[in-house]
Amino acid sequence: MRNRFPMVYGHIGKPVTRATPTKARNHAGSGRTKVTDGEHMGSGSVRGAGQRRVTATIGDVATAAGVSRATVSRVMNGRSTVDAAIAERVRSAAAELSYRPSNAARSLALGRTQTVALVVPDLGNPVFQQILRGVMDGAAEDGYRVLVADTVEDDQQEGAIALEARMRCDALVLVSPRVGDAELSALIADVEPVVLVNRETNGAAPSLVVDYEDAAVQVVEHLVALGHRRMVYLGGPVRSASDEMRRAGLDRARARHTDLEILDLPAGPDIQAGHAAAPAVLATRATAAVAFNDLVAFGLLAGLNEAGVAVPADISVAGFDDIELSRYATPALTTVAVPQAELGRHAWRELHAVIDDDAHPASSARFTPSLEVRGSTGPVPQGPERVHITDDDLVARQPEEVPTVPPTAAPVWSVPADPAADAVVLTCGDGLELVRRDGGDRMPKVHARRPYLHPVHTLAGVPLTDVSPVDHRHHYGVGIAVPDVNGTSHWGGRTFIEDVGPTLLKNHGRQTSAGIRVEPGVPGAAGTAGETLVEDVVWSDEHGEPQLREERRISARLLPVAPGSGAAPGWVLDWRSTLHADHGPLEIRSPATNGRPGAGYGGLFWRLPIAESTTVLSAAGTGENRAHGGTSPWVAFVQQQGGRSTTLLLVQPGQVRPWFLRSAEYPGACPALAWDAPLVVPDGGSVRLDLVAVLLDTELTAEAAAGLASGLTDGGRR
């Protein structure tokens, strides 16, 4: 059984345990106990001539001061009935003998342990830790220690745990008790003196309450001001009084705003609860989520992040309590600040007053929290998706001079004994790393695990891929990502459903390597040939059933540079994949075919990193709008970053499919398999995906890009 009393702060040793009646009151002065010699056996010492050092006793002090043992006891206990001159003589004798009274004996004499207990539902919650710190600080100043009991959110055992804690100490602080009102009233009578935090007692005991009702109103009013009208509340523990107060605040907000809809989802009190609730939150189509506390909000942020949902661009998130980590979340969490440590200090002041005076009237204090607005909340999204800006009006820059670096040895693949555990690497020359292949085993399941290439570098070492970026967590370097294969997502993130929109479903498939080998390169006219990485990949649906077989071939070669030409060095990555419908017919779809115009993504997708500037070139002209949806044989991304220019030229060497392309919101592109109509592959049939990429450490013009692309498609490809 888990230890309910994990630690005693400020006290070394076993907590004092004593027999206590069922009604465990024990106020100051309620008992009178005769003091004996053993009651003040101390830690000091005396030593006669030629004798070894011995511990000083209360009798030694009495003899030295010329008084009785009872007088010493009264002085040591701080009673005022002893003459001041005699008391000073006793204290001087005690100091001379280094006498210290025994705490255990004093507790027995006074009927006190000088210990109080703090009972919390979950010691792992930072809010309760801060309340504990406040109680400890106040108690230490008054010579008390604090025993901690954790009920682990078990309301069935909470009363028994509180009673056991009370039997070990002088008084209790009950924090956020979960028991019902009738049970709480009976418990207060059994364990008083007691002070409650975050629970009303109707005068039965002192109580400190955070106005979570007002806090909830503050959060909702903030979100309403940002334009949100459809929200979701992730509820806390079923028997939490503070959860009820939050709900009362939500009801007040609904009454104020008749067009406001606040949906209710059960969650819980911790990070795991928030993470598990992410799919349900997205299914509500709410534009804002309010979590029971900051821990639940953290879990929700993680789940949304994994699903590729941007906060606050796609959905706003807010919490309660303002624990210390809230400001360091990504994005920083909007929350309601509660004076946690002050609650603890105030609780001690109330409890100490009751301990010293059992006639002290019960009082109630209410704390009003304050809203802390941070980066996790923002304006309501305009339309179903964020607006894409374009770069049609960008002015083309003049290419810059780049020193020519002669080609080195042909690129080679390095395949470890266990590709599932170690990366497959493409190197060139003296260990220059161009590409790493990752099997995708560490991806979250919601991202549709698949093998991919990242990073992919230019010859100068500039990466031209990105993995799991903040804007789209399910983007991974270069790989084959398809949003809908017979209803299974091999893209990751949300699935677009007509008349509903992007929705997180449990339909994420997996691409698994069935074997990797390397074939030697064959010299060709287009440049120094490199080796070819051949991989067999099995695509499985969300249930683990195979859907198709892919034969993947990836090769690399250096671009030839004529001596004295001044041309920039570069290299070529050639990817060919054939998808075989070995397990029945295939229907490949996209959001565009499912009702979202222009969103025809799916295929061999290349995700680039965000740069200071990105310009798109194509045969149709300059700009994202001219390339997106077009059938130019090639597109080029020209980027500037840190004073350096690079160009990624993507060429379709065979059948030219429409380009799905972005450059302003994020840079990425793929030839679309299902641009505006589903792609059907009959049982036993196949479909081919080809893409040739040229990576350069310079800025190409449209004319240079067209010429280079033409050389790759007109017989220059291996």
Dist CA 648 CA 152 (whole Å): 56
Burial of 605 (0-12, 13-18, 19+ CB in 10 A): buried
Long-range pairs, 28-31, Cβ under 8 A, ≥24: 28/110, 28/111, 28/112, 28/355, 28/356, 28/357, 28/358, 30/111, 30/358, 31/111
Q: Is the pLDDT score of 37 beyond 70?
A: no
The pLDDT value recorded for residue 690 is 96
Dist CA 616 CA 431 (whole Å): 32
Dist CA 427 CA 500 (whole Å): 46
Confidence grade of residue 404 (pLDDT, cut at 50, 70, 90) = very low
Among 545-549, 619-623, 707-711, the least confident range:
707-711
Mean pLDDT calculated for residue range 413-428? 85
Dist CA 634 CA 631 (whole Å): 8
- pLDDT top residue among 153 and 3: 153
Dist CA 262 CA 290 (whole Å): 9
Q: Is the pLDDT score of 588 beyond 70?
A: yes
Among 103-107, 158-162, 423-427, 506-510, the least confident range:
103-107
Confidence grade of residue 566 (pLDDT, cut at 50, 70, 90) = low
Domain map (residue ranges) of the chain: 37-110, 412-521+532-554+571-609+647-690
- Tokens 């991806």 belong to 443
Among 25-29, 344-348, 668-672, the least confident range:
25-29
Sign of CA dihedral 621, 626, 632, 635: positive
Sign of CA dihedral 662, 668, 672, 674: negative
Q: Two tokens at 23?
A: 């009604």
- Tokens 């699935």 belong to 495
Among 55-64, 96-105, 229-238, 606-615, the least confident range:
96-105
The pLDDT value recorded for residue 83 is 87
Q: Is the pLDDT score of 159 beyond 80?
A: yes
Q: Are strands 194-197 and 207-210 parallel, antiparallel or unpaired?
A: parallel
Nearest to 219 by CA among 207, 209, 232: 232
User: How far is residue 613 from each of residues 458, 622, 643, measured CA to CA in Å?
Assistant: 18, 14, 11
The pLDDT value recorded for residue 359 is 53
Asked if 512 and 527 count as a contact pair (C-beta separation under 8 A), the reply is no
Query: How close are the terminal C-alpha atoms of the chain, in Å?
Result: 69
The pLDDT value recorded for residue 403 is 40
DSSP for 654-718 reads SSPPPEEEESSSS-EEEE-SSSSS-EEE-TT-EEEEEEEEEEESSPPPHHHHHHHHHHHHTT---
Most confident of 230-234, 307-311, 422-426: 230-234
pLDDT tens, residue by residue, 49-89: 444 445 788 888 889 999 988 788 778 766 667 888 898 99
The pLDDT value recorded for residue 32 is 28
Asked if 620 and 678 count as a contact pair (C-beta separation under 8 A), the reply is no
Q: What is the pTM of this model?
A: 0.66
The pLDDT value recorded for residue 184 is 85
pLDDT tens, residue by residue, 177-215: 888 888 888 888 888 888 888 888 777 788 888 899 999
The pLDDT value recorded for residue 101 is 66
What is the identity of the amino acid at 521? G
* CATH class in words for 37-110: mainly alpha
Dist CA 492 CA 306 (whole Å): 9
* Three-state SS sequence of 503-533: ECCCCECEEEEEEEEEECCCCECCECEEEEE
Dist CA 165 CA 529 (whole Å): 77
Dist CA 392 CA 121 (whole Å): 58
Asked if 475 and 466 count as a contact pair (C-beta separation under 8 A), the reply is yes
